[in-house]
Amino acid sequence: MKISHKLILGFVGIATLTGAIGAIAVEQQSQAAKYLARQEAEEVAMLLGYFANHELEVQKPRSPMEMLAKLQNHVLALHNQRQRDIEIVDRNKIILADVIPEDIGKKLDHDHNNEVGQTIQDGKARAYIEISDEYPQGIYLIAVPFKNSQGATIGAVILEYTPLYKAAMATAQKSILATSIITLVCGLLALIAGSLIANHISKPIQKLQKAVLNLAAGKLDTRVTMNCQDEIGELAIAFNKMAKDLQSSRWELLNTNEQLRDEISERQQKATELQAALKNLQNLQKTQAQLIQSAKMSSLGQLVAGIAHEINNPVSFIHGNLTHVEKYAESLINLIELYQQHYPNPVAEIQAEAENLELEFLQEDLPKTVDSMKIGTCRIREIVRSLRNFSHIDEAEYKVVNIHEGIDSTLLILQHRLQAKAGLPAIEIIREYGNLPMVECYAGQLNQVLMNLLANAIDALEEANSKRTTQQLKDNPNRITIRTSIIDSQWVQIAIADNGIGIPETARHNLFNPFFTTKPVNKGTGMGLSISYQIITETHGGKLEYVSTPGEVTEFIIQIPTHQKVLATV
């Protein structure tokens, strides 16, 4: 909004305020006139009641009829003098005296809001307007209590004060008219003064505003010329000085900006080259770590496969010959028993040798020894089969496998870390296997993920053991829980939980990033979880998530599709 408009609006406001004050004054004068008319009527009615009551008590009428006649005379006398309607009623609003004799003895009913009845009850005067067929324009009435000399209210006096009201309003009209004229003149003078002042101030300001807009548009050679010597003239001088300084500063800024632009361009080019080199270095480090991890797993697989192969041959030879040994031992024992049956008394030399060999114990223990050897070789063969399953030396890279066999094989490799050592309790493995189908996956890579997650769980338990007391270890023993289940018949879920130290909240957003680790220095490379995440999400099209409560429990959840058809649509 322009200043001229604001000034005009300000003076309009002053004019409006003046008018409002005048209207309030007019209203106050009108109310004062009404109040004075009412007060005069109330005093007349009170005096009428007082003198009527005083005269009745002094003269002491001999009968009620004489008393009513005297009241009627007072009413008619006042009516003849003032030309006003007057009525006197008792406590039941029965008319005792009236300018219209025919109404005497009737009940008063022209106070529609029971103003007269309320006056009789509480002794307070009340004014009201009576509108009827006789007085369609209405007449002004006032009711005052009619009291005896003891002050008890015995009725009410109703007096018309319409002439008083009209006279008071006629007197007030002159004052109201004068006030209205003065208010109107003051308002017009305020509007004229506001218009003149706004015109005198707004033109120089508009000129200065136009110069400011030109300056903002880039026309720095803009200057303002004013002849006035007031504050606006001083503002114009200050504006011209500012415009001159701004024009000078602009040239300096343009020169400096050109130099900065060249420097920024050069630095941006160097930063781009540096970012590219840093990105290549990060990719190289990530690839190197992945290759190292893959090489470790490959070497471990080859080592396990070689050991399994070397153990498998002699164990298979031993296991195969144990059947023959068992038969031979059984035949020899039968033969000895047959000799003992037919030759119960052998020569002394044979008897001595039998006692020296503890022949009876030998006959009883030899079959047990052979059975123990068979059990041992079977166990060794199972271990070899688990090692071969872990290394997958006899399977294609992508194959349908039993997930539970992969988990058991991985646990077998980590068996030495699960045992009790150095006064610390063993780690209990709880298997809660579901009824899983055969799963299409990269078995070797999936075993690598299982190895990373289980090794991390063991590390977390070992770190927790170093911080827990003996009693805490008894109350909360080391435990790793492995749960498997099928989801929607198309996904397999593997959950690995430990009751170690948990994962801090600060690591939540970086846990699967390369080279990020929560382990102490020289303990972890920060690539295990990153590679595991890549194998599950990218290679298998699955999900790898975790939930953790710091200081209590951590659970990693693997979800992968069961079939290649589902894998292709992920």
Q: What is the DSSP letter of 427?
A: P
The domain boundary, picked from 159, 184, 209, lies at 184
445-495 pLDDT per residue, tens:
888 889 889 988 888 888 888 777 777 777 778 899 999 999 988 899 999
> What's the pLDDT at 526?
59
- The verdict on residue 146 lying in a domain is yes
0.85 cut: is pTM over it? Answer: no
533-562: pLDDT as tens digits? 888 888 888 999 988 888 788 999 999 998
DSSP secondary structure letter of residue 509: T
Residue 372 within any structural domain of the chain:
no
Q: What is the CATH number of the domain that holds 430?
A: 3.30.565.10
What's the pLDDT at 566? Answer: 42
For residues 362 and 353, is the Cβ–Cβ distance under 8 A? no
Q: Edge-to-edge strand order for the sheet containing 553-561?
A: 428-432, 479-487, 491-498, 553-561, 543-549
Within-domain flag for 488: yes
Note whether residue 196 is domain-resident.
Answer: no
pLDDT of res. 238: 77
Residue 283 lies in a domain: no
Report the CATH number at residue 47: 3.30.450.20
Task: Tell which residue, 123, 149, 146, has the closest CA to residue 54.
Answer: 149
Structural domain including 158 reads 3-184
Domain count of the fold of the chain:
2
- Note the pLDDT tens digit of each residue in 8-25: 566 566 667 666 676 676
**pLDDT on residue 394:** 44
Higher-pLDDT residue of 53 and 274 is: 274
Q: pLDDT (tens digit, 9 = 90+) per residue, 172-189?
A: 666 667 777 777 777 677
Give the percent of the chain with pLDDT over 90: 7
Mean pLDDT (whole number) for 202-230: 71
pLDDT band at 393 (very low <50, low <70, confident <90, very high): very low
Distance between CA atoms of 77 and 141, rounded to whole angstroms? 18
The arithmetic mean of pLDDT across residues 500-525, rounded, is 67
Among 159-163, 299-303, 411-415, 558-562, name the most confident range.
558-562
Using one digit for the tens of pLDDT, what is the confidence trace for 277-331? 887 776 676 666 556 555 555 555 556 666 666 676 777 777 777 777 888 888 8
Task: Kindly state whether residue 294 falls inside one of the protein's structural domains.
Answer: no
Q: How far apart are CA 35 and CA 449, in angstroms?
A: 101
Closest CA to 450 of 385, 495, 516, 392: 495
Return the higher-pLDDT residue of 305 and 439: 439
Checking if the pLDDT of 395 tops 60, the result is: no
End position of a domain, from candidates 160, 184, 208: 184
In this structure, is residue 481 part of a structural domain?
A: yes
Residue 502, in any domain of the structure: yes
Domain boundary among 158, 184, 210: 184
